[in-house]
Chain A
Amino acid sequence: MPNTKFSPSIDSRPTYAGLVSQGAAPGIMVADAAGADALVDLASADSSVMDRAHVLLVGAAADTVSRIEALHPKALHGAPDLEAATPLVKRLLSAARMGTTLYLAGSEGLMGHVAALATAEGLPLEAIQMEHRGTVARRMQCVHCKGITEDVTTDPFTCSHCGLTLFVRDHFSRRLGAFQGVCVDAETPGVVPDAQEIRA
């Protein structure tokens, strides 16, 4: 499955141009199980991209790990989930120098979260490449309680923190790495439209 094509939307909705090798320059790569395929494709287009790459796989099974191992990155790390991966991403970024490319692949939640960490560390946006693979589930911020609900697949959905029913906006905050959810029945409490599957 190649890079997901999303339907055109508003300016604040991120777009994902796909990964393009910067050659043997320093790289940090973060991917989930689905995103690992994008790294495999990237390396098959230019194997030198792995020469100075630190790869971090989030929640990937053993066979995925061994497929990446076979690409001989400079270093390979694993983390069970995004939360566990965060300190390591920060550590890699703080040691990085100008000229480092950050390659992100997988869900919007993973890419949004890691891109937010990286820009906070001073990495310019242009040095971040992203390729969407796998689930179109979204990472949503509830505008009311500020809680983040991961892996949202329907619109509207229930905030996992405050329990309000939220509709899914395309408005995206790069700083939070999340889309915005707003109460769907604020004016008419209890009148909630049927939930629809979120699509690309």
Chain B
Amino acid sequence: MTMQFNDETFRGDYTFRNSAAAIRRFPFPFDRDGYMYSVNIEQHPGGPAGSPFEFAFDVDEHYVAEMKDREITLADDPMRCQSLPHMELAGWDLLELIMVSKARDYPELFKLNRDGNAWHWINRPLGIDKTFTFLDPTTLPCGPMEYITRQAQGDFALLHEREGNLWLDAGMVTSQADWSLDFDVGMNFFEWHAPVPKARKMGVFDKALKFLLAVTQEQSYRRLNWTMTVNPRLDTSPENYHKWGPEKRSITPANVGAKQFLRVELQTFWRLPRSNALAFPIRCYLCNLEDIATQPKWGRRLHRVLRDIDPDLAEYKGFAVNHEVIVDYLAQFDDGAETSPGIFPD
């Protein structure tokens, strides 16, 4: 089966849409009718065929459009991609991981031929056919991390391990939930997460750091995180907050179903072999309330989760101003019936 890629936008006229198949495979993040902050970590890759968990780096119908959106963001603000000098080797590690995985998992879309360090990479959806020398940056048009993450959906952080901590020393970040790579690059794990309310007190990041330090090169992991975004906008950066901020206040009972999106991050964790750095890809999936409600289980459950959520959390996730309209809208899909356990639709 060859994949069809949508011609769509994530800004301006916002023509982004999910096909029926994309809706069914949406990584709905709630496995029960309530939300509690938890670390909810699973091994990755691995999951039902066709799900976004099946392969190391999921490629879906939004691939080409997302890469175009990244190009627009980078043209406007090249600092969204940064790598401190000592992170180049980690960049090559990441390039290898992504190329090898994609060529293995999507042979009809990607091809990689390696003869020692002479590599030949074909990316059919983006029309790229490139020969280069592995570990020789002069043979690529840009650094290895930038080169490969211009061809991979989601944001990427590369963390350098030292002094018992992890340092955010490189990244490609164009679809972030409100943090600035340019500002945070070079920070350690606690500094980088410092603005997250309460979490330090709850010891969440101590545990998370411990877990991440123990990730080995033989086993990688994933977790889901979520937030809410008005309009299918990838670039919800602080840099452009003054440009997209007003849209947040444009939600009405009439448009909430179409304009309010559940934004899910599929976060994965990989120990890279040559650099011993950690790769932290953060893949973003968007689905509006209307489309979520096409799966009766999800409509019911999302209503219950958001109705009962801690107001502080709604504030932190940035949808407190629209909370009431969202819950009122979702109420129509909740007939009180029981929901089955797990995240997948019935």
Task: Say yes or no: is B207 at the interface (Cβ < 8 Å to chain A).
Answer: no
Q: How large is the interface on A (under 10, 10 to 19, 20 to 34, 35 or more residues)?
A: 20 to 34
Partner-contacting stretch, out of A41-49, A54-62, A89-97, A181-189 = A181-189
Contact of A143 among B183, B185, B193, B195 (CB under 8 A): B183
Query: Are B195 and A12 in touch, CB under 8 angstroms?
Result: yes
Task: Say yes or no: is B79 at the interface (Cβ < 8 Å to chain A).
Answer: yes
Task: Please name all residues of chain B whose beta carbon is closer than 8 Å to the beta carbon of A170 when the two chains form the complex.
Answer: 194
Please report the C-alpha to C-alpha distance between residue A89 and residue B341 in the assembled complex, in whole angstroms.
62
Query: Are A189 and B246 in touch, CB under 8 angstroms?
Result: yes
Query: Are B184 and A173 in touch, CB under 8 angstroms?
Result: yes
Contact indicator per residue, chain A 149-180, by CB within 8 Å of chain B (1) or not (0): 00000000000000010000111011110001
Rounded to whole Å, the gap between the CB of A184 and the closest CB of chain B is 10
Please report the C-alpha to C-alpha distance between residue A187 and residue B248 in the assembled complex, in whole angstroms.
7
**Beta-carbon nearest neighbor of B321 in chain A:** A187
Please report the C-alpha to C-alpha distance between residue A146 and residue B79 in the assembled complex, in whole angstroms.
10
Task: Please name all residues of chain B whose beta carbon is closer than 8 Å to the beta carbon of A83 when the two chains form the complex.
Answer: none
**Beta-carbon nearest neighbor of B196 in chain A:** A10
Task: Say yes or no: is A141 at the interface (Cβ < 8 Å to chain B).
Answer: yes
Task: Please name all residues of chain A whose beta carbon is closer than 8 Å to the beta carbon of B183 when the two chains form the complex.
Answer: 141, 143, 171, 173, 176, 180
Task: Say yes or no: is A194 at the interface (Cβ < 8 Å to chain B).
Answer: no
The SS class assigned to the A binding surface is loop
Task: Say yes or no: is A74 at the interface (Cβ < 8 Å to chain B).
Answer: no
Interface centre among A12, A13, A146, A176 (most CB of B within 10 A): A12
**Beta-carbon nearest neighbor of B186 in chain A:** A175
Using a CB–CB cutoff of 8 Å, the interface residues on chain B facing chain A are 79, 180, 182-187, 190-195, 200, 238-242, 245-246, 248-249, 321
CB-CB nearest 9 A-B residue pairs: A186-B245, A12-B194, A10-B194, A12-B191, A175-B186, A187-B245, A11-B194, A183-B242, A186-B242
A-B contact pairs, 13 of them (CB 8 A): A10-B195, A11-B190, A12-B190, A12-B195, A13-B194, A144-B238, A146-B79, A173-B184, A180-B238, A182-B241, A187-B245, A188-B249, A189-B242
